[in-house]
Amino acid sequence: MDYKKSGNAKVGKNKPRHSEHNAKGSDKSPFGQNETKAELIARLKAAAEKKKS
């Protein structure tokens, strides 16, 4: 095969194909709104209890 005539390699655009549902800055996780450690633990415990029952 003659690779000389195939042209240059395509450069990656470095752009995601779709936006994530929980991306930073979206409605679900806005910027600057980090939960405290106590809130995180409470949320995890509630999820564990919900999973048990």
Q: Which residue range(s) make up the domain with 34?
A: 22-52
Domain-located, residue 48: yes
Task: Provide the pLDDT for residue 1.
Answer: 67
- pTM of the complete model beyond 0.85: no
Domain-located, residue 2: no
State how many domains the chain has: 1
Judge residue 8's burial from the number of C-beta atoms within 10 Å of its C-beta, 0-12 exposed, 13-18 middle, 19 or more buried. Answer: exposed
Map 1-53 to HEC letters.
CCHHHCCCCCCCCCCCCCCCCCCCCCCCCCCCCCCCHHHHHHHHHHHHHHHHC
Burial 14-33 (b: 16+ CB within 10 A, else e): eeeeeeeeeeeeeeeeeeee
Domain-located, residue 41: yes
What is the tens place of the pLDDT at every residue in 8-52?
A: 777 778 887 888 887 888 777 778 777 789 999 999 999 999 999
Domain-located, residue 29: yes
Task: Provide the pLDDT for residue 49.
Answer: 95
